[in-house]
Amino acid sequence: MQRCLYRAECREATNPSAFWEAQTGLLNERMDRLGLGRLSIFQDGKELFLYYECTRREVEPEQLFQGTAEILKEWPGGEQPRLWVPMMDIFHYQQPVSAEHWKRSHAAGTPYGRVAALKPEQVASYVYHHYQYQEEHPGDGDKYGIIGLHENLLFFYSELPATVEPAPYAGKLATNLRPDNWGEVMDPHFRKWSEMPPDQAIWKKLTLVLTIPRPYAEKGE
C-alpha cells in the first residue's frame, strides 16, 4: 500500500472549494475503481496539499481528477509539466504492514493538516533527526501521522482523535540518540511564519476543503 502526498498551486481568481465539491461524486467512483483509501485536500491561500492511500497500486492524481488544469498552475520538471508535484515521505510514526493493521478504529476520524517551512541549510539536519526518531521509536505518535517534503516545505498529515498504539514491527536502528529536548533542537530548523498566533509560528494549520474517508480495509491489498 502506498501513501501519497502532493502539492499544487491555484491559478489566480479561481474558486477551488467549488471545484472540489463538484468533483465529489466522480472521485467516489474513481477511488472505488482504482482501489484508493482515504483522500483529503487541504488549502492555505493559493497552496493545495493532497493526501490519499493507494490500496492496490500507485495512482497519479491525474488519474483521479478531471479538469484541474482550469484551477491549477503547471509545475516545470519531469517528462511533461505537472499540476501536482509529489512530496517525499521523510517521517512517519508507523507504516502499514497489512489491511488489518491499517484499519481505522475511529471511523469518523478527522484529517488534520499543517505546513512548515525549513531553512534551506537545515533540510539535511531535519531529515537526519527525523529518520533517527522514526526508526528508533516507531509508534511514538499518531499512527497515521506522516510528513512530506517538497523543496523546503513540509506538509504534516495526521488524524484526530490521534491513534497511539505500538507498531507491529521494530525500527531499523538499535540506537537511542533522539534528543530529549526535541523542541529546542528542532526550533532552529524552521523559518517562522509572520503574522500568525504563537501556536502557529512554526506549524501553520491548513483548511480542510475535501475529505472522502473510504476505509482501507474495504479493498485490502
CATH code of the domain containing 11: 3.30.70
Phi and psi at 38, nearest 5°, equal -60, 145
**Contacts with 59 (C-beta within 8 Å, 6 or more apart), sequence order:** 4, 34, 35, 36, 52
Domain count, the chain: 1
**Contacts with 92 (C-beta within 8 Å, 6 or more apart), sequence order:** 3, 134, 145, 146, 147
> Dihedral sign, CA of 210, 215, 220, 221?
positive
pTM beyond 0.75: the answer is: yes
**Range of 78's domain?**
2-218
Would you state the pLDDT for residue 217?
40
The tens-digit pLDDT sequence of the chain (221 residues) is 899 999 999 998 888 888 888 888 889 999 999 999 899 999 999 999 999 999 878 899 988 988 898 899 999 887 777 999 999 999 999 999 998 899 887 666 799 999 999 999 999 999 999 999 999 999 999 999 999 999 999 999 999 999 999 999 999 999 999 999 999 999 999 999 998 999 999 999 999 999 998 765 444 33
- Are 203 and 114 in contact, with CB atoms under 8 Å apart? yes
- Are 122 and 128 in contact, with CB atoms under 8 Å apart? no
Q: Give the separation between CA 3 and CA 145, rounded to whole angstroms.
A: 11
Would you state the pLDDT for residue 221?
37
